[in-house]
Structure 1
Amino acid sequence: MTIDPRLSETSPAAPITENGLFLADVWDGLAANPKALPAKYFYDAAGSELFEQITVLPEYYPTRTELRILDERGPAIAALLPEGAALVEFGSGSTAKLRRLLRHLPGLAAYVPVDVSGEFLAEQAETLRGDFPDLAVEPVVADFTRPFGLPEGVKDKALAGFFPGSTIGNFEPGEAGRLLDVFGRILGPGAVLVLGVDLVKDREVLEAAYDDAAGVTAAFNLNLLHRINRELDGEIDPARFTHRAVFNAEASRIEMHLVSRRAQTIRVAGRSFAFAEGESIHTENSYKYTLDGFRALAARAGWTAAEAWTDRDGLFSVHALRRAG
C-alpha cells in the first residue's frame, strides 16, 4: 500500500529530504485511523536481504513458479522485445529473474535496474557486470512509483520494461493502474512491458506463503520497526508487536499487519503514538488477479495484452503488454 509522502497539515515540520519523506510518511501513517505504513519502506539493506530469504522458502510459491515460467517461456518472451533494446527493470532487487531472460537476449544493448535501496542495487549491478562484461549496466536509484530520468546512454535505444515478482499486487487497483501509466510514460509509445502477476487461489496456499513456519516473513515485516528505530530516532520495542497475514477474499488480497500485543505508546522523532491492545499497523496488501481481470486493468492504463503465460497449476502468471501508440 502507498501513502502520499507529503507532510499532513497537522504534522510537525520535517525536512524535505529522503529521510524527511520517510519520517513524514511514518508520522502520517501512525496518526491515521486505521494506522498504515507504505510497503516501499520494507526495502532497506536488511529488508532486501530478508526478502531474498523469503523467495526460497517452501511456502513461498511465487518466485520459483515465476522462474519456471521464465525458463520455459523465455524464448517467446524474448521474441517480443526489440533487437538492441535497453531493458528497464522497475524495483530490480536480485538479478535472478533477469538472468533467466538474458540467456535468450544476446542482442540486449543495456540493462537499467531501478531500486530505492542504493547499496543493494550497487552490489547487484557490480556482480552482473562481472558476469556479463559485454552488457552495459546503468543502475538508477529512484522510487519507481514516480517518473524518473533514464541514463543518457539509453535514451536513443528502444526501451522495454521488466517488473517481475508480482509487485504490482502491492498496490491498490487504482494505484496499480496509475503505476502502469507511469511505466508507459517512461518507456514510451509501442514499448513492451513484461511483468509477473499473482493469481487467485486457495486461502490456505496464500496465507502460508505470507506467514511461513520459519518466521522469515514475520522478521521482514518487523524489520520495518527496526528501520524506524535506526533511521528516525524511533523508540519502539518490536517484541511488543506480532506479524499477521490474512486473505481478504472480498477484496481479493493478502493483508499484512503488525499487531500491538498490548496497550502502549511509541515515539518516533519525538512524536508519540498510542496503541490499544490488538490495534494494528497495516503494512502491505498483495492483490491477487484473474487473467482477464488484470488484462482489463492494464487496458485502462493504456496497455494492450500481447501474451500471458501461466504454470500448469495456475498459481502465477507472466504477462507481456504493449504500450498504445
Structure 2
Amino acid sequence: MKPGIEWRRPRASADSEQFAADLHAALSRAPKAISPKYFYDEAGSRLFEQICELPEYYPTRTELALLRAHARDMATQFGPQVQLIEYGAGALRKVRLLLDAMPRDSVEFVPVDISGPHLLAACDGLAGDYPGLAIQPLVADFTRPHTLPPCAEGSRRVGFFPGSSIGNFTPSEADAFLRLAASELAGGGLLIGIDLEKDHDVLHAAYNDAAGVTAAFNMNLLDRARQELGAEFPPDGFEHLAFYNPAYRRIEMHLRATRPLELQLGGETYAFHEGETLHTEHSHKYTVSGFQALAQRAGFKPGKVWTDENGWFAVLWLEAQDG
C-alpha cells in the first residue's frame, strides 16, 4: 500500500447551496427540523471536540476506555489486511487506538467526513504521527452515495463508526445507513459504538453542560446560517433546548424562539411563535439486543460486544455478509 496522504475531494454535498436548500425546507415544514450534519462547519467541529472533553459528556471517555482496553481484541476481528473506513471521522482520535493495535503495513485508512478543512488538518496530524500509513481522506456525506477508493487485492473493507453517531439518525435513517454500509463493506464488517439506555438525569446533564459548550454548538447552526447564507433574525431570538423524550427513547436538541419573531433567508420570511422550535438533533439510546436486531435486518451478522462496567455504552462488531 502506498504510504502518505492521497487527497480525494469530490463535490461535497453539504456546500452552501445545499445548506440553503435544506434550511428553506426545514423552515417550511411543521414541525421545523433540519439534519444535524449542518452543525459541522469548522467552528462546529471545534466546538464538538470541546464537548467531548466535558465532565458531563460521558460517551467519549467511556468509548475511549473501551477502545484502550479492547483494541487488540477488536482488531483481531478485522482480518490480516484491511481498508479501514471511518465514517464521520472528525478529529481522528479514537481510530489511533485501533491503528496502534494493527501492523502498520496491514491497513489502508480512509477517513470520510463532511467537513473538508477539519478532516485534512486531522489527517496531516495523523500522517505525522504514523509515518508510512496510507491515508486517503474523502470529503463526502457518508449517508449518501459516495465512491470509496479501490480496495487493495487481498484486503477487505472494515468500517469504524464510533461516538454513538448512529443515534443521530431516525430509525429509518439508521436502517438506510446500515444497509448502505453492509453493501459497501460486504465480506468485511463494521465496528460501531452505541449509547445505551440509562438514567435520564445522566442524559440530561450530558446535553446541558454547565459551561454552555453544547448550547454554543447548537447555536452555531444559526451563526453559520447568518455568515454563510446571509440569514437575518434577532441576535437574542433563540435559545438552546435539550431534553429526553421517553416516547422515542432519545435526547432531542432544539433552537427555541424566545418570542414571536421572523427569520429571513434568501428573500423568504419564516415566522416563529414564542416557544416554537427548530429541531436540530436527536440522539437515540439503544439496548444491545435491540441494535443487533436492527443490524441483522440490514444485512449484518452480530458478533462480539464490549461494554463498560456501568452498562452505559457498547462497541459492537458486525460481520458484513458477502454480496
Q: Report the TM-score, using the length of structure 2 for normalisation.
A: 0.93
Residues 290-311 of structure 1, C-alpha deviations (whole Å, 9 max, x = no match): 0111001101111111111100
2:130 paired residue number: 132
Between 303-312 and 154-163, report the one with greater CA deviation: 154-163
Q: Name the CA distance, whole Å, in 1 between partners of 2:62 and 2:43.
A: 25
Q: What amino acid maps onto 2:172 in structure 1?
A: G
Query: What displacement does 1:238 show?
Result: 4.2
Matched, 1:262 2:259: yes
1:323 paired residue number: 320
Q: What amino acid maps onto 2:146 in structure 1?
A: F
Q: Which runs of 5+ in 2 are unaligned?
A: 1-12
Q: Map 1:5-84 onto structure 2 (within 5 A).
A: 18-84=15-81
Q: Name the CA distance, whole Å, in 1 between partners of 2:26 and 2:253.
A: 15
Matched residue of 2:303: which SS?
strand
2:87 paired residue number: 90
Structure 1 residues 28, 155: closer, same or farther in 2, change over 3 A? farther
1:10 paired residue number: none
Q: Report the RMSD for the aligned CA atoms in angstroms.
A: 1.4
Q: Report the TM-score, using the length of structure 1 for normalisation.
A: 0.92
Runs of 4+ in 1 over 6 A off after TM superposition: none
Query: What displacement does 1:48 show?
Result: 0.3
Matched, 1:235 2:242: no
Conserved in 1, the CA contact under 8 Å of 2:82 and 2:107?
yes
Residues 158-177 of structure 1, C-alpha deviations (whole Å, 9 max, x = no match): 11100000000000112101
Q: What amino acid maps onto 1:128 in structure 2?
A: L
Conserved in 2, the CA contact under 8 Å of 1:148 and 1:186?
no
Q: Name the CA distance, whole Å, in 2 between partners of 1:176 and 1:153.
A: 25
Matched residue of 1:159: which SS?
strand
Q: What amino acid maps onto 1:160 in structure 2?
A: V
1:11 paired residue number: none
Query: What displacement does 1:155 show?
Result: 7.4
1:168 paired residue number: 166
Q: Name the CA distance, whole Å, in 2 between partners of 1:17 and 1:192.
A: 27
Q: Name the CA distance, whole Å, in 1 between partners of 2:146 and 2:258.
A: 40
Q: Which runs of 5+ in 1 are unaligned?
A: 1-15
Residues 185-216 of structure 1, C-alpha deviations (whole Å, 9 max, x = no match): 222x2211001000000110001101101000
Matched, 1:286 2:296: no
Matched residue of 1:239: which SS?
coil
